[in-house]
Chain A
């Protein structure tokens, strides 16, 4: 078991009171950003792309929240990496026929530059890694940290989910059906009727530790990622096995934080699992508040950690109805195209 002792978030939302965004006709929103100069000197930040700045600041806020100066490890998940710098280098390489290219865009483009820059900013020599596996990028990072703490290789870790979404990449996703064609309606989070979702971006992190503190948000009892279940009853089996392994009965799960995103193909997978008689925890939703992107689940975890601690949550997170019990145990479930399913079992401290 580990404890979430700090959180940090830069998203299209403010951390305190998430609001229903106006997705407009584009169904695409970018982060609302702090004044980076408050956190990063101009000499350092001049070369940093937006995602690097956001990730460093989210990490700094997270560690301040945890009252910690230095983590044992920095582990990131990112689905697209530093896509803006990648695009700049790629486009100039094509347009300039491989001549007169700027090295800064190249070195800023590698996925692990986020984790490295955070480490350089903090001067942290600890374990450092980056996962880039579609919708389970963040959960892979979290799993890595969780296992290392269990094996006593580290005592704590800063774990982040970092993604940016450029207009060009958003347009490409639209071409392959990932973006909703019509203006998004909140109703679709209860009952999706068309494909595509709203698209966002964000840098969200948690500081997890083997040690509980007075300020711990929640415990992470276990993390599991499983792959391409053949049908929904296999998914249910996996969930039951997961709960059983941790001596938790289905009836103890007060809520499930779901990765519903208003896309009928995506949401059907969850509905098949949770609409039977067996698994009936109160459903919470979040992707309509942060947008769908590869590491949106990090935003969801940051939100749920707060709910468990404060037992207070905005109406925007209910799918159908609000829970009647305080949240003692919560399941966090996120899947990507039914290829990877991530489960996080959370508990009240």
Chain B
């Protein structure tokens, strides 16, 4: 799980172009959207693509993403349960 969380942080920094941020800067329990990292609906779509590309998990309903992407931790847990 630790490795997955670190991996996710690195991928998110790259895909969302969070320039200047390192994995240490991101708290895996902090909210990704709204407060916390302050990501938006476009970022959510990018994360959906990331999940399918890197972990083979397809999300057809963007609304499901709201729960899964609450934090890096919840994202990692979902991936661990569902990855192909």
Chain A positions near chain B (C-beta within 8 angstroms): 42-43, 45-47, 100-104, 107
Categorize the interface residue count of chain B. Answer: 10 to 19
Name the contact of A102 in the complex, choosing from B18, B19, B20, B46 (C-beta under 8 A): B46
Q: Give, as a whole number of angstroms, the nearest-CB distance from A330 to chain B.
A: 43
Asked whether, in the complex, the Cβ of B19 is within 8 Å of the Cβ of A46, the reply is yes
Asked whether, in the complex, the Cβ of A104 is within 8 Å of the Cβ of B42, the reply is yes
Asked whether, in the complex, the Cβ of B42 is within 8 Å of the Cβ of A47, the reply is yes
In angstroms, Cα B42 to Cα A276, docked, is 58
B84 CB–A CB distance under 8 Å = no
User: Contacts of B64 on A, CB cut-off 8 Å?
Assistant: none
Name the contact of B49 in the complex, choosing from A42, A43, A103, A107 (C-beta under 8 A): A103
A43-B38, A47-B42, A107-B42 are contacts. A102–B49 as well, Cβ < 8 Å? yes
In angstroms, Cα B49 to Cα A101, docked, is 7
Asked whether, in the complex, the Cβ of A46 is within 8 Å of the Cβ of B49, the reply is no
Asked whether, in the complex, the Cβ of A103 is within 8 Å of the Cβ of B42, the reply is yes
User: Contacts of A107 on B, CB cut-off 8 Å?
Assistant: 42
B59 CB–A CB distance under 8 Å = no
In angstroms, Cα B42 to Cα A42, docked, is 16
B30 CB–A CB distance under 8 Å = no
User: Contacts of A104 on B, CB cut-off 8 Å?
Assistant: 42, 46
Name the contact of B16 in the complex, choosing from A45, A46, A101 (C-beta under 8 A): A46
Q: Give, as a whole number of angstroms, the nearest-CB distance from B27 to chain A.
A: 17
In angstroms, Cα B43 to Cα A107, docked, is 12
3 A-B pairs with least C-beta separation: A46-B17, A103-B45, A100-B53
Q: Give, as a whole number of angstroms, the nearest-CB distance from A246 to chain B.
A: 48
In angstroms, Cα B45 to Cα A42, docked, is 20
| Chain A residue nearest to B21 in the complex (CB) | A42
User: Contacts of B46 on A, CB cut-off 8 Å?
Assistant: 102-104
| Chain B residue nearest to A48 in the complex (CB) | B17
| Chain A residue nearest to B45 in the complex (CB) | A103
The interface centre, meaning the residue of B15, B20, B42, B46 with most chain A CB atoms within 10 A of its CB, is B42
B52 CB–A CB distance under 8 Å = yes
Asked whether, in the complex, the Cβ of B52 is within 8 Å of the Cβ of A42, the reply is no
A100-B53, A102-B49, A103-B49 are contacts. A46–B18 as well, Cβ < 8 Å? yes
Q: Which residues of chain B from 14 to 61 have a CB within 8 Å of any chain A CB? A: 15-20, 38, 42, 45-46, 49, 52-53
User: Contacts of B49 on A, CB cut-off 8 Å?
Assistant: 100-103
Asked whether, in the complex, the Cβ of B42 is within 8 Å of the Cβ of A100, the reply is no
User: Contacts of A100 on B, CB cut-off 8 Å?
Assistant: 49, 52-53
User: Contacts of B38 on A, CB cut-off 8 Å?
Assistant: 43
Q: Give, as a whole number of angstroms, the nearest-CB distance from A37 to chain B.
A: 9
In angstroms, Cα B38 to Cα A43, docked, is 8
User: Contacts of B19 on A, CB cut-off 8 Å?
Assistant: 42, 45-46
In angstroms, Cα B46 to Cα A107, docked, is 12
User: Contacts of B17 on A, CB cut-off 8 Å?
Assistant: 46-47
Asked whether, in the complex, the Cβ of B53 is within 8 Å of the Cβ of A42, the reply is no
User: Contacts of A103 on B, CB cut-off 8 Å?
Assistant: 42, 45-46, 49
Q: Give, as a whole number of angstroms, the nearest-CB distance from A190 to chain B.
A: 46
Q: Give, as a whole number of angstroms, the nearest-CB distance from B58 to chain A.
A: 10
Interchain Cβ contacts under 8 Å between A and B, 9 examples: A43-B38, A45-B19, A46-B19, A47-B17, A100-B52, A102-B15, A103-B42, A103-B49, A104-B46
User: Contacts of A43 on B, CB cut-off 8 Å?
Assistant: 38
Known: A46-B17, A102-B49, A104-B42. 14 other contacts (CB 8 A): A42-B18, A42-B19, A42-B20, A46-B18, A46-B19, A47-B42, A100-B49, A100-B52, A102-B46, A103-B42, A103-B45, A103-B46, A103-B49, A104-B46
In angstroms, Cα B19 to Cα A42, docked, is 7
Q: Give, as a whole number of angstroms, the nearest-CB distance from B4 to chain A.
A: 20
User: Contacts of B20 on A, CB cut-off 8 Å?
Assistant: 42
| Chain B residue nearest to A96 in the complex (CB) | B53
In angstroms, Cα B46 to Cα A46, docked, is 13
In angstroms, Cα B60 to Cα A13, docked, is 48
In angstroms, Cα B15 to Cα A101, docked, is 12
